[in-house]
Amino acid sequence: MSVSTKMKELRQKLRENQYKLTPQRQMVLQAFLDHPNRHLSAEDVYSIVRDQSPDIGLATVYRSLELLSEMNLLQKIDFGDGRSRYEVAESGATHHHHHLICLDCGQVKEYDDDLLEGLEASISRKHRFTIVDHEVKFYGYCSQCQAKRDHEG
């Protein structure tokens, strides 16, 4: 649970896959550790990392994000806003959280999911489809924006 746990995981997984441990890759992962509960886009990461290391290239950020996702250190998510976003992947394989996306302010809330595991099994059987992952998004209005809407009629 210490700050360096994920970083050690990075070190180890890079070695396993014969990739090199570069400062850029560490910095990209660190950006996520420094901004928990956020869903950073490539540009977000670029701007965070550039504060510390102005010479880093945006392409390197993209390449690092892809690599970290392949190694399951990051999870790529798509909120339909035209750019990919990423978050630190949960270690436990199947049990992850999903998102409540506000259609007004764009805020993304997380919610923990337990209820879909059973559903998976029945769908899997019924459709002869081996399910390895699922993704659930709820669209609506957060309490603030809902209040706003109530006022405006």
Residue 70, marked binder: no
Is residue 30 part of the contact set for DNA (CB under 7 A)?
Answer: no
The strand pair at 40-41 and 74-78 is best described as: unpaired
Joined together, the tokens standing for residue 39 give: 């869903």
Q: Which element (helix H / strand E) includes 7?
A: helix 4-16
Q: Minimal distance in Å, beta carbon 16 to a copy of itself? A: 21
Q: Phi, psi (5° rounding) for residue 77?
A: -130, 155
Residue 82 touches which of DNA, a copy of itself, none (CB < 5 to 8 A by kind)? Answer: DNA
Distance CA 62, CA 60 (A): 5
Distance CA 143, CA 100 (A): 12
Residue 120, marked binder: no
Query: Which residue, 51 or 133, is less far from a copy of itself as judged by CB?
Result: 133
Is residue 51 part of the contact set for DNA (CB under 7 A)?
Answer: no
Residue 127, marked binder: no
Residues numbered 90-129 forming contacts with a copy of itself, rule: CB under 8 A:
100, 102-103, 109, 111, 115, 119-120, 123-124, 126-129
Tell me which residue of 68, 137, 69 sits closest to 98, measured CA to CA: 137
* Site of interaction with a copy of itself (CB under 8 A): 78, 80, 100, 102-103, 109, 111, 115, 119-120, 123-124, 126-143, 146
